[in-house]
Homo-oligomer: A and B are copies of this chain.
Amino acid sequence: MAEEEFPNTTHEGFNVTLHTTLVVTTKLVRPTPAKPILPVQTGEQAQQEEQSSGMTIFFSLLVLAICIILVHLLIRYRLHFLPESVAVVSLGILMGAVIKIIEFKKLANWKEEEMFRPNMFFLLLLPPIIFESGYSLHKGNFFQNIGSITLFAVFGTAISAFVVGGGIYFLGQGFFFCVCVFVCFILQADVISKLNMTDSFAFGSLISAVDPVATIAIFNALHVDPVLNMLVFGESILNDAVSIVLTNTAEGLTRKNMSDVSGWQTFLQALGYFLKMFFGSAALGTLTGLISALVLKHIDLRKTPSLEFGMMIIFAYLPYGLAEGISLSGIMAILFSGIVMSHYTHHNLSPVTQILMQQTLRTVAFLCETCVFAFLGLSIFSFPHKFEISFVIWCIVLVLFGRAVNIFPLSYLLNFFRDHKITPKMMFIMWFSGLRGAIPYALSLHLDLEPMEKRQLIGTTTISIVLFTILLLGGSTMPLIRFADIEDARARRRNKKDVNLSKTEKMGNTIESEHLSELTEEEYEAHYIRRQDLKGFLWLDAKYLNPFFTRRLTQEDLHHGRIQMKTLTNKWYEEVRQGPSGSEDDEQELL
């Protein structure tokens, strides 16, 4: 065990740093050490552990700081064609290589203990990302397109999972030999056959999770139809949850050794489990969100922003804990609670807390995403790989094919019901934007496969696919824009808008939520308030739910809110005036 090699470094000072950073890369993805711990830990052990946690924290923070500077440089020097995720993953790869070169002799030690326990991803890193997705969702467009989004997210992901999972399973069975004779020289059936049906399906499910971050970046750059933007963005968020639930379903089946039961029974069981997970978690999240709205409507914490903000933080995390505690999907619950909270609870907050929520969520989600991407890059050198070129290539083909089978037929089907048709160009963009990100990676680490080799194979393959999609598809976005979108480019020039793949810069410039993204206020009102007759839920919401769950603001409330904001602004201004580098314009009054 790496930790046990540490001498008690109490008096050695700085010279342990380098060794520790190495251990740290290992430990980050496996937070609790997997060594036998005595029931009563001695203080010395505790101290050593604290020391090692200290270095872990320090190293991760350092990586994050470097990533922030990198993202800043991307924005500063207007390298907008490069998505942030690509840059951060590349930096991670570079750092992993540097660490490996420096400490190559220590390699033997930390190869053994690399079967990660990625609880940290699921407990600490994913919840803020998913909650932020839900919270910053453009709810008007989202609820208008809820049908199409659900179709893509639930059926589309299931199709993709079945195509990839089934493809791998049948490839393993040698079924494709006769079909694909021309590629059989690279097909190593003996390896692939190790995956049984549920394992294949689990892998197919996890690899079907499309990353919302990368998708946003591409769509913002392409200036596509706002409704299409919402469609795919909504799909990519919901789809994460669906993919996680599907993977858990497959895992659950493996655990109960149901894979030997006949196909239909397995399928029905899986379906039941999936429906329970999906609707149970969604209901739990929605319920928590509604409770939070009622609590913050009836308990007026607006005079004490720290209590209010604290309450919001608690309610943001509460559904996750509860859902995981009763074996539902925490991610699903937190997504729905985020959507509900931003739709109702948000409007019961004081202006300061509204701003605090948006900015803090954004920052924390950014840090978590960056952390995941950086360690995705680092993991290339810290993971014990089992790289099967044929398997990886087959998987990439299946993944691209699976997404095609998802997008094109479903879009065709939806066009019968939609006013706003999905053109073939749009379909192509939707297909191309199926980047894989952090969630497949984390899920693959989480997967419980029995022989070690299979775990390594799945891990390596997932990392390869994620890197392929992020680096190749993500990196080729700029040429794609140039190639496919000459008209849009002209429109862009007219608007004097630069092509921009940086999510962070967009956030910084506008300092506002996506609540107001594409539609102007009048359009929004036209869509949202005057078209009450159009959709049942919107009418119900405007007529009954909103008045019940949100506070009706009085003139006095507006006045208080304005005063609160003015106080903050004046406060800042006063601090600037009397601060150490105070400027000279003391006379000029603010407001």
Chain A contact residues, CB within 8 Å of chain B? 9-11, 13-14, 16-17, 20, 32, 34-44, 46, 49-59, 61-62, 64-65, 68-69, 71-72, 75, 113, 115, 117, 119, 122-123, 251-252, 255, 299, 301, 303-307, 309-311, 313-315, 317-318, 320-327, 330, 343-344, 347, 351-352, 354-356, 359-360, 362-363, 366-367, 370, 446-448, 452, 504-505, 507-509, 511-513, 515-516, 521, 524-525, 541-542, 546-547, 550-555, 557-558, 561-562, 564-569, 571-583, 585, 590-591
With known contacts A69-B299, A508-B306, A54–B347 Cβ distance under 8 A: no
Q: How far is the CB of A279 from chain B (nearest CB, A)?
A: 14
Which residues of B are found within 8 Å of A42, using beta-carbon distances? 448
Judge whether B351 and A314 touch: CB under 8 Å: no
Given contact pairs A64-B314, A68-B314, A352-B511, a sample of 6 additional A-B residue pairs in the complex whose CB atoms are under 8 Å apart = A34-B41, A39-B113, A309-B360, A344-B580, A355-B572, A591-B591
Which residues of B are found within 8 Å of A325, using beta-carbon distances? 16-17, 20, 51-52, 54-55, 57-58
Q: How far is the CB of A379 from chain B (nearest CB, A)?
A: 18
Which residues of B are found within 8 Å of A575, using beta-carbon distances? 347, 354, 513, 515-516
Judge whether A58 and B321 touch: CB under 8 Å: yes
Q: Which 5 A-B pairs have the closest CB atoms?
A: A43-B448, A54-B324, A57-B321, A304-B508, A58-B321
What separation, in Å, do the CA atoms of A17 and B327 have in the docked complex? Answer: 11
Query: What would be 11 A-B contacts, judged by CB atoms less than 8 Å apart?
Result: A10-B327, A16-B325, A17-B326, A36-B36, A306-B366, A310-B367, A313-B367, A352-B355, A356-B356, A553-B582, A565-B565
Secondary structure class of chain A's binding surface, majority of residues: helix
Q: Which of B321, B557, B572 contacts A354 (CB 8 A)?
A: B572
What separation, in Å, do the CA atoms of A49 and B511 have in the docked complex? Answer: 39
What separation, in Å, do the CA atoms of A546 and B580 have in the docked complex? Answer: 6
Which residues of B are found within 8 Å of A585, using beta-carbon distances? 555, 558
What separation, in Å, do the CA atoms of A21 and B318 have in the docked complex? Answer: 14
Judge whether A511 and B305 touch: CB under 8 Å: yes
What separation, in Å, do the CA atoms of A525 and B577 have in the docked complex? Answer: 11
What separation, in Å, do the CA atoms of A193 and B327 have in the docked complex? Answer: 51
Which residues of B are found within 8 Å of A13, using beta-carbon distances? 326-327
With known contacts A355-B568, A356-B359, A581-B551, A307–B65 Cβ distance under 8 A: no
Q: How far is the CB of A356 from chain B (nearest CB, A)?
A: 5
With known contacts A318-B61, A573-B562, A507–B306 Cβ distance under 8 A: yes
Judge whether B307 and A61 touch: CB under 8 Å: no
Q: How far is the CB of A67 from chain B (nearest CB, A)?
A: 9
Which residues of B are found within 8 Å of A542, using beta-carbon distances? 580
| Listed residue (A299, A325, A511, A579) with the most chain B CB atoms within 10 angstroms of its CB | A325
With known contacts A58-B318, A508-B307, A352–B347 Cβ distance under 8 A: no
Judge whether B50 and A123 touch: CB under 8 Å: yes
What separation, in Å, do the CA atoms of A69 and B255 have in the docked complex? Answer: 42
Which residues of B are found within 8 Å of A310, using beta-carbon distances? 64, 68, 363, 366-367, 370
What separation, in Å, do the CA atoms of A317 and B60 have in the docked complex? Answer: 11
Which residues of B are found within 8 Å of A330, using beta-carbon distances? 54
What separation, in Å, do the CA atoms of A591 and B550 have in the docked complex? Answer: 26
Judge whether A304 and B504 touch: CB under 8 Å: yes
Which residues of B are found within 8 Å of A43, using beta-carbon distances? 251, 255, 446-448
Q: Which of B115, B574, B583 contacts A558 (CB 8 A)?
A: B583
Q: How far is the CB of A455 from chain B (nearest CB, A)?
A: 9
Judge whether A504 and B307 touch: CB under 8 Å: yes
Judge whether B578 and A72 touch: CB under 8 Å: no
Which residues of B are found within 8 Å of A509, using beta-carbon distances? 303
Q: How far is the CB of A43 from chain B (nearest CB, A)?
A: 2
Q: How far is the CB of A203 from chain B (nearest CB, A)?
A: 14
| CB-nearest residue of chain B to A140 | B578
Judge whether A62 and B352 touch: CB under 8 Å: no
What separation, in Å, do the CA atoms of A547 and B69 have in the docked complex? Answer: 23
With known contacts A56-B321, A504-B304, A562-B569, A115–B37 Cβ distance under 8 A: no
| CB-nearest residue of chain B to A349 | B572
Judge whether B16 and A326 touch: CB under 8 Å: yes
With known contacts A524-B578, A542-B580, A119–B49 Cβ distance under 8 A: yes
Q: How far is the CB of A525 from chain B (nearest CB, A)?
A: 6
Judge whether A68 and B572 touch: CB under 8 Å: no
What separation, in Å, do the CA atoms of A42 and B446 have in the docked complex? Answer: 10
Judge whether B583 and A553 touch: CB under 8 Å: yes
With known contacts A356-B356, A511-B564, A555-B585, A580–B347 Cβ distance under 8 A: yes
